[in-house]
Structure 1
Amino acid sequence: MPRRVVLAAPRSFCAGVERAIEIVERLLRIRSGPVYVRKQIVHNSHVVADLESRGAVFVEEIDEVPMGATAVFSAHGVSPAVRSAAEHRRLDVVDATCPLVTKVHVEARRFAARGDTVVLIGHADHEEVEGTLGEAPGSTVLVETPEDVARIEVADPERVSYLTQTTLAVDETREVIEALRARFPALRGPGSEDICYATTNRQNAVAAAAGDADVVLVVGSDNSSNSVRLTELARRLGTPAYLIDSADDIDPAWVTHAAVIAVSAGASAPPSLVDEVIEALARLGPVTVEEHSVATEDVHFALPRKVRYP
């Protein structure tokens, strides 16, 4: 049957992801030895596989990197303990941490230094959260849901501040903040939202596109927080939604009776994967493609000095 494909925009790569990938690509060109990357540079299996094919070596921990070698910290950031371990091994470190994640780290140190208990809203075991918790481990507590707020203990209810992971669902995070304000009226937060512009824009785009769609397809790997949040958001709005790593994951049964298919992609998913999804849908029948944009992104982050060309 003829179908209409609505592309939610913005989608795919954000400035922080583009910066992190370019850092590794440039190092592979200008360094003679192996380039090691701690964790996945961004949470997308296709990006990692592509960089591996060009010579990047991905490791889980710093102690897997040979003494004195080149090491890249991923876009999600690391804790001070990881930085110390890299210094101990005399590694030539190039930091690909997204500047918006670095902002949260700076806030964590500042809030803890003024004597606050810092409540970090985020998902346990996510690399970004692990790095932020490591900035002030003695002063920071993690919460994921409004229910968690009732269980936390603080030294002084008048000195509580909050931070958030940059890739959370905006509406769900708002509920947690409201619970925190209800329990701690003197609660203080960051000067500007920690959930990044790219996460917010992609969620707004999916929300706008999902209303008229019969199904939503979100391109992204299953360990990508912002991709998972897009899928969950569409479902909360009442539209069936599926997270797919590539066009190969599309089940024709999902779209057999769909006249309108909304397509988005997480901030770590390459734009080429969206093109492949459209091609796959076209093989199932005639499609017309239109773009629904809610924002224009023109953010650019400077590269570290070590990888800037002369």
Structure 2
Amino acid sequence: MTKPALQVLLAAPRGFCAGVDRAIDIVDLALQKYGPPVYVRHEIVHNRYVVEGLKAKGAVFVEELDEIPDTDQPVIFSAHGVPKAVPAAAEKRNMFYIDATCPLVSKVHIEAERLHARGYDILLIGHDGHPEVSGTIGQLPDGAITLIETVEDARAYEARDPDKLAFVTQTTLSVDDTAEIVEVLKERFPNIVGPHKEDICYATTNRQAAVKAIAPQAEALLVIGAPNSSNSQRLVEVGKAAGCRVAHLVQRAGDIPWPELDGVASIGITAGASAPEALVEEIIDALGERYDLSIETVTTATEDVTFKLPRVLQDSAA
């Protein structure tokens, strides 16, 4: 039987960002230097495939430090960042910990601390329950940061002092949705102070721009990523908003919604910042079994960002 033709529009940039690369390298290098087990608080990045691969090498994932026995082995904090109470608890137990927080998340933490020190009430634009948001809120005393999730929240917020108000944002938000919230806040509070440089990270911005470029040309969009990955979920939303009729988040080839691809002649593919290229290849191979593929890469930006490893692992990397 002749396979139906399918045009694949491959978004670039896609997949791993510099912060994710660094976090995974930290676990890998710690395993090489200190041997297993290496304990990791929370998923190092939001991707089951990555986590299972590190587990196979000897990484032990926990949600909280009290799940870790007394040990001299390294304890690694995830790329999403942690509240200040976490390293404090680790120090109390004399744990040897390595912080894999993405430097762009750390930048938001530093901004929040500086603004708080200058007497500002701080609004954090983000999603309740996301570990990055919990980490940022946990940098300051209780009540110092108010979470703003929606435009409605921005409209309803009552400022204690409108002239002493500032905002920061989660790094993995929708660029467009965040701009709408910021616009409402600036309209209501003209003197509100924002970050010197936008908090939404370069990788989130670039991946959303790439999806906006391919979505109008594609009848369907597959975003490879985990359900708990904020930046991956945002790519699905961006694809739909940009005109793609069918947009789905898939973790592996087994999640492809085949019935919804019936009669489709073009499909866009991208991957969230914590999804490895191996999963992109897996999805393309699965499509290739059913379709005669023609693949075009649509590039909207070139990324060359890298971040330094923690000093304790730099000799291992060399």
Moved more, 65-74 or 172-181: 65-74
Partner residue of 2:139 out of 135, 140, 162: 135
**2:275 aligns to what SS in structure 1?**
coil
User: Are the aligned partners of 2:36 and 2:59 in contact in 1 as well (CA < 8 Å)?
Assistant: no
Question: SS of the counterpart of 1:275?
Answer: helix
Q: Distance in 2 between matches of 1:189 and 1:143?
A: 14
**2:69 pairs with 1:66:** yes
Secondary structure in 2 aligned to 1:8?
Answer: strand
Q: TM-score, normalised by structure 1?
A: 0.98
Q: Following TM superposition, by how much is the alpha carbon of 1:154 offset from its aligned partner in structure 2, in angstroms?
A: 2.7
Measured in 2, the distance between the counterparts of 1:236 and 1:158 equals 35
1:205 aligns with 2:210: yes
RMSD: 1.0
1:187-233 residue CA offsets vs partner (Å, 9 max, x unmatched): 11010000000000000000000010000000001000000000011
Question: Residue 282 of structure 1 is aligned with which of 285, 288, 291?
Answer: 288
| Aligned ranges 1:1-310 → 2 under 5 Å | 1-69=4-72, 70-136=74-140, 137-239=142-244, 240-309=246-315
The letter for the 1-side match of 2:20 is V
Does the 8 Å contact 2:36/2:57 carry over to 1? no
Q: Measure how far apart 1:121 and its partner are.
A: 0.1
How far apart, CA to CA, are the structure 2 residues paired with 1:234 and 1:33? Answer: 41
Identity %: 51
Q: Which amino acid aligns with 2:185?
A: L
**What secondary structure sits across from 2:296 in the alignment?**
strand
Q: Closer, same or farther in 2 for the Cα pair 1:92/1:228, shift >3 Å? A: same
TM-score (norm 2): 0.96
Matched letter for residue 221 of structure 2: V
**How far did residue 148 of structure 1 move?**
0.4
Secondary structure of the 2:156 match is coil
Unaligned residue ranges in structure 2 (runs of 5+): none
The one-letter amino acid of 2:33's match is I
Measured in 1, the distance between the counterparts of 2:35 and 2:11 equals 41
Q: Deviations over 1:77-134 (max 9, x none)?
A: 0011111111111110111000000000000000111011110000000000000001
Shift of residue 249, structure 1, vs aligned partner: 0.6
Asked whether the equivalents of residues 172 and 201 of structure 2 are also in contact (C-alpha less than 8 Å), the reply is yes
Moved more, 247-256 or 70-79: 247-256
Q: CA deviation at 1:254?
A: 2.1
Are the counterparts in 2 of residues 141 and 152 from structure 1 also a CA contact under 8 Å?
no
Contact 1:68 1:89 in 2 (8 A): no
Query: SS of the counterpart of 2:295?
Result: strand
**Displacement, 1:155?**
2.0
Structure 1 stretches of 4+ with a deviation exceeding 6 A read none
Q: Secondary structure of 1:308's match?
A: helix
Matched position secondary structure for 2:147: strand
Q: Deviations over 1:235-276 (max 9, x none)?
A: 122311000001111121122211110000000000010011
Note the C-alpha offset of 1:33.
Answer: 4.7
| Rounded Cα–Cα distance in structure 2 between residues aligned with 1:65 and 1:154 | 42
Q: Please, which moves more after superposition, 220-229 or 129-138? A: 129-138
Unpaired segments ≥5 residues, structure 1? none
**Distance in 1 separating the partners of 2:144 and 2:40:** 29
